[in-house]
Amino acid sequence: MSDYSVPALKPISKLRAAGSKLWIFSVWALTLFFVVNLIGIIAAVITSSFGTRWLRAWFPAGFTPHWYISAWDEFQLGNILATTFEVVGAVVFLCALIGVPAAYAMARRDFAGKRAFMLLFLLPLLVPSVTFGIPLATVLYKFGLGGTIWGVIAANLVPTVPFVILIMIPFIEQIDPRMEAAARVFGAGTVRMFLHVMLPLLAPGILAALLLVLVRTLGMFELSFLTAGPTSQTLVVALYYGVFAAGVRPVQSIDAMAVIYMVTSLVWLLVALQFVNPTQIVARSKRSAGP
């Protein structure tokens, strides 16, 4: 093979090494800039919620916790929190009840029209919530559900049930079907097989999926906003109205509500992150879905 030759590679230049260092540096600098501003935004809300007077200065003149007390009364946060957790609880429960069995069927059976069902479950995740929220709100109002807590729950099920299904399908697929076969051989019926064999195996996946549903529902603004009435506002909707009507109430009071919202969301996010990878919040895990 030595009758022909291959040219040697270009010699390395110092310029190239420097350019590569500069490139790496700028990527990190940019990321850092983003993260610093992000933290700044969150810190500004927290600082303001504890501040007394904050005008034309780096920091408020003094610090006080009393905005939390006034926000609690002014915005009737007790009621709003109760509504929020009723909505979230119902959505999580119904997602488990409806989504997990559907995911099981999709993962274990290969039936005619399965692709059509898959498309049906993908669509609500691909269409942004404002787009389908307006016709959905129209229909809910037509049936008298609009403005009630049931309307808010129903609307929130539209993106969350498919979300649970899509997360659970790869999770169920990776469980060996022979496990179920073995349970049947030993005489377990469908219900007992599910309760004693599948449920314990699926528990981590279900838990992760439901925690993600919980976090998403807490933060779901558009659908709750379009379907909620005055008595069925969730926390994020109340926050929107608070910010929207800025000037009516002191900004620190709104910030106090924002912090309360932030804390409720982040507690659950932290719990969820014990079980899932952050990337799963935006996309179903490709790792487990892959071959």
Partner 1 sequence: MSDAPALRTRLAARGFDGITLLVLPAALLIAGLFIYPFAYGLYLSFRPKDGSVFGNYLKFIADPYLYETIGRTLWLALPVTLLNLFFAVPVAFRVRLMHRQRLLTTILVLPITLGTVLVAEGMLNYFGPQGWFMRSLHLIGLANFGSFRLVHNYWGVFISLIITGFPFTFLLTLSYVTGIDPALEQAAATLGARAMERFRAVFLPLLAPGMAITFCLSFVQAYAVFPSAVLLGQASGETRVISIAAYQAAFEQYDYSMASAIAMIMAAVQLVIVTAVLALRALAYRGPAGGGKG
Partner 2 sequence: MNANASFKTLRLDQVGRDFGAMHALRDLSFEIARGEFVALLGPSGCGKSTALNCIAGLLPTSHGSIWLDDRRIDTLASEDRGFGMVFQNYALFPHMSVRDNVGFGLRMRRVPATQAAPRIERAIATVQLEAQAHKLPGQLSGGQQQRVAIARAIAIDPPLVLMDEPLSNLDAKLRLEMRAEIRRIHQGLGCITIYVTHDQDEALSLADRIVVLRDGAVRQIGTPQELYAKPAHLDIADFMGFRNQLRGTLVQQNAFPANVSVGLQFGDSTLFGFTRETVSGGQAVAAIRPEDMQIVGAGEAGVDAIVDAIEYRGRSFFASAHMKDGQKLYFASADRLELGSVVRLGASPQHVLVYSGA
Q: Rule CB under 8 A: which of 225-264 touch partner 1?
A: 225-226, 236, 239-240, 243-244, 246, 251, 254-255, 258, 261-262
Q: Do 223 and 155 contact (CB within 8 A), yes or no?
A: yes
- CB-based contacts of 224: which residues, under 8 Å, 6+ apart? 87, 152, 155, 156, 233, 234, 236, 237
Give, as ranges, the residues between 125 and 154 that touch partner 1 (CB under 8 A): 126-132, 134-139, 141, 154
239 binds, among partner 2, partner 1, none (CB under 5 to 8 A by kind): partner 1
| Residue 80 C-beta: closest distance to partner 2, Å | 51
**Residue 153 identity (one-letter amino acid):** I
Q: Give the range of 20-28, 68-76, 77-85, 201-209 binding partner 1 by CB under 8 A.
A: 20-28
Write b or e for each residue in 163-202: b if 16 or more Cβ atoms lie within 10 A of its Cβ, otherwise e: bbbbbbbbbbeebeeeebeebeeeebeeeebbeebbeebb
> Is residue 185 close enough to count as binding partner 2 by CB under 8 A?
no
- Total Cβ atoms within 10 A of residue 213: 27
| Residue 173 C-beta: closest distance to partner 2, Å | 22
| Residue 1 C-beta: closest distance to partner 2, Å | 6
- Contact pattern for partner 1 over residues 80 through 119, marking x by CB under 8 A: -----------------xxx-xx-xxx-xxxxx-x--x--
CA-to-CA separations, 203 to 178, 276, 284, in angstroms, rounded? 18, 13, 17
The DSSP output letter for 194 is I
| Residue 247 C-beta: closest distance to partner 2, Å | 57
Q: Identify the bridge partners of residue 51 per DSSP, sorted by sequence position.
A: 63
CA-to-CA separations, 289 to 47, 90, 217, 283, in angstroms, rounded? 43, 28, 24, 11
| Residue 291 C-beta: closest distance to partner 2, Å | 12
Nearest to 163 by CA among 94, 228, 226, 233: 94
Q: Give the range of 4-12, 82-90, 110-118, 213-221 binding partner 2 by CB under 8 A.
A: 4-12
| Residue 13 C-beta: closest distance to partner 2, Å | 11
| Residue 18 C-beta: closest distance to partner 2, Å | 14
**Which segments of the chain are extended strands (E)?**
none
Give, as ranges, the residues between 8 and 67 that touch partner 2 (CB under 8 A): 8-9, 12
165 binds, among partner 2, partner 1, none (CB under 5 to 8 A by kind): partner 1
2 binds, among partner 1, partner 2, none (CB under 5 to 8 A by kind): partner 2
CA-to-CA distance for 50 and 59, rounded, in angstroms? 11
5 binds, among partner 1, partner 2, none (CB under 5 to 8 A by kind): partner 2
Q: Do 219 and 235 contact (CB within 8 A), yes or no?
A: no
Residues that bind partner 2 (CB under 8 A): 1-2, 4-9, 12
